[in-house]
Structure 1
Amino acid sequence: MTNLTLDETDFRLLKALDENGDVDADEIADELDISQSTVYYRLEKYREKGIITDTVAHLDRHKLGLGMTAITRIKTVYGPEAMEVGKRIQELSGVQQVYSMLGEMSFCVISHVRDHEHLQGLVEKIIETEGVQNSETNIVLRTFKEEPRLLVNYDDADLEKLFAYTADDKSSISD
């Protein structure tokens, strides 16, 4: 956890950014009824502290023809070599997320592909990856939630707990 304190203005500003994406700072200032200079200053501090890492447009994968989602669980060799397998898997075309896990399986991989043929090619590349012992792939039939934004996934009570938790930290975002 980054040692910083977020005040109510920080949470309102971060939540507005999370809900709306890359919004004009002047619009955010008007929406939150705070000064433009406050918005600009805090945005710069968020970048310095690594809270905001970059600005990315969210593309609609379905409209781009990548409507099939696959979840692949991979078992690898145990030990330091497993991390090398993860690095190789993350470089495969179509792989969007790779998670190292505890338990029987070593990795969970989320991929978005065009169709069964595309998926078959990806699965073959995974199986052929050095260090992969076995894998299991499931095709998603229906997505109930796919939300890449962070704060919009929490209700106000949880956000207030997060706010209280960060308020106990040592350094302030406005330092």
Structure 2
Amino acid sequence: MEKISLDPVDRRILAILQQDATTPISEIAERVGLSQTPCWKRIKRYEREGLIERRVTILNREKLGLDVTVMVAVRTAQHTDEWLQIFAEGIARIPEVVEFYRMSGEIDYLLKIVARDIADYDRIYRKLIHVAPLHDVSSSFAMQEIKSTTALPLAD
């Protein structure tokens, strides 16, 4: 994938959009020292080039009753493309899995799951273990969220 070169104005625009994608073009333009049309054109270029993948609304988990965050480490004895496809498709059908990574090292896959409570996590866990044959599943419950952000660093 080709990397995109950013100038300081690009970085400031993107930082603003990462904080609030609904910020009006007029406000973004004023904050970065551009007129509206060049600012709008830059944003359209970011979208066209795939730098901006999508715009989303971030919901408050606690207000939705999703108070439990679980990091689930999965090890498997199977490492075939077919197994991974079955596992990935099965995980995609579990909406409570909000992040899913293939790892290096002792853990094969790491999942971040949100749940209402421990009983709800047990329900999700039962779905998880039926997706594909697993060697080991280890769950760690987050006691406190210290930092969580969707904003990427935009260093010079």
TM-score with structure 2 setting the length: 0.91
The CA distance in 2 between the partners of 1:13 and 1:79, in whole Å, is: 43
2:128 to 126, 129, 139: 126
Aligned counterparts of 1:106 and 1:81: Cα–Cα separation in 2: 15
Q: 1:115 Cα shift? A: 0.7
The one-letter code sitting in structure 2 at the alignment partner of 1:21 is A
Q: Which residue of 1 aligns with 2:50?
A: 50
Residue in 1 that maps onto 2:27: 27
Which residue is equivalent to 1:40?
A: 40
**SS of match in other structure, 2:150:** coil
Change (3 A) 1:82 1:145: farther
- Percent identical among aligned pairs is 25
Q: Report the 3-state secondary structure (helix = DSSP H, G, I; strand = E; otherwise coil) of the residue aligned with 1:42.
A: helix
Contact 1:95 1:110 in 2 (8 A): yes
Q: Output the amino acid matched with 1:139.
A: F
Q: Does the aligned pair in 2 maintain the 1:96–1:112 contact within 8 Å?
A: yes
In the TM superposition, residue 44 of structure 1 has moved relative to its aligned partner by 0.6
Give TM-score scaled by structure 1 length: 0.82
User: RMSD of the TM alignment (CA)?
Assistant: 1.5
Match of 1:69 in 2: 69
Question: Could you say which residue in structure 1 is the equivalent of 2:14?
Answer: 14
Distance (whole Å) between structure 1 residues aligned to residue 80 and residue 67 of structure 2: 35
Question: How far apart, CA to CA, are the structure 2 residues paired with 1:4 and 1:47?
Answer: 12
Q: Which of the residues 91, 94, 97 maps onto 2:93?
A: 91
**Consecutive unaligned residues in structure 2, runs of 5 or more:** none
State the AA in 2 paired with 1:79: T
Query: C-alpha displacement at 1:55, in angstroms?
Result: 1.4
What SS class does the counterpart of residue 128 from structure 1 fall into?
Answer: coil
Give 1:101's aligned amino acid. M
